[in-house]
Amino acid sequence: MQDDFMNFTRLFSIVAVISFCSHAYAESKINIGGIHLGSSAAEAHAGATAMNKKFKFIDLKRQEDGKTIGFNGSEDGAFPADSIRVIFTDTNTIWFIYRNQRYEEGSRPTRDAVFSALKEKYGEPTFSNTKDLLNGNASWHFDRSGKLYHGPLGKAPCSGTDSRGGGTPPSSFTEHCGVFVQASWNFMNKEKMVQQLEVTAHESSIVYDAIKKKQDASNEIQRKSLEQEQSKNIKPKL
């Protein structure tokens, strides 16, 4: 998972942009396994340890300066039964959480049990697909006030937020999105029991505000530079 994330940082440099986040965000009610968006890095480490005592942790570091900007936790094995990824801002505020669970025969939940548990935790999904023969998915769009959206796709507050799944943070963010939650589960077996469940949650507003702050600062520098150039009243030599 670490290589995938580092590829992401090279392409989009989101973690560098987030350094512009200087103010604290309130802890969100949205959580995965007890780790809340908006909580601190220390709280996330404690939560991940409590979540699964078998987790072994690896820090995620920014290439530019070696600063720790998150961590991976997973059980042993090439395909661990349980793993988690947490990413935080330069002020150690959690904005991205991903968990991947794999179930062996004898401990697999039913499709209905998975969907019911997700709805109990996050509410009735904004969009869902439970009719597929091999997998199911659902997403929850919360606006900046924390209200869960239900309505046309084109008007959803997080529509346009690029959430790739698989533990890869999004690369694009929208103005009105507060929190986005996405879940997918597959049952590619003859018994149609769920063998894998992935859940992602990210507080898009944190990153959007950071990007906007950086862009506004850049625009202001360009504006002042143009004003300075115009004030010279340079005349062409004809």
pLDDT score recorded for residue 153? 85
pLDDT of 150 above 90: yes
Mean of the per-residue pLDDT values for the chain?
Answer: 85
Instruction: Give pLDDT tens digits for 20-46.
Output: 444 444 567 899 999 999 999 999 999
Number of Cβ within 10 Å of residue 132's Cβ equals 10
Largest CA distance in the chain: 87
Q: Give the CA distances from residue 61 to residues 52, 64, 78, 221, in Å, rounded to whole numbers and listed in that order.
A: 23, 9, 22, 30
Nearby residues of 192 by Cβ (< 8 Å), 6 or more positions away: 111
For 4, the 3-state DSSP assignment is helix
Number of Cβ within 10 Å of residue 184's Cβ equals 18
Question: Quick one: CA torsion of 197, 37, 96, 45, rounded to 10 degrees?
Answer: -80
pLDDT of 70 above 70: yes
pLDDT score recorded for residue 213? 74
What percent of the chain lies above the pLDDT cut of 70? 87
As given in the structure block, the two tokens for residue 16 are 């560098």
Q: What is the pTM of this model?
A: 0.82
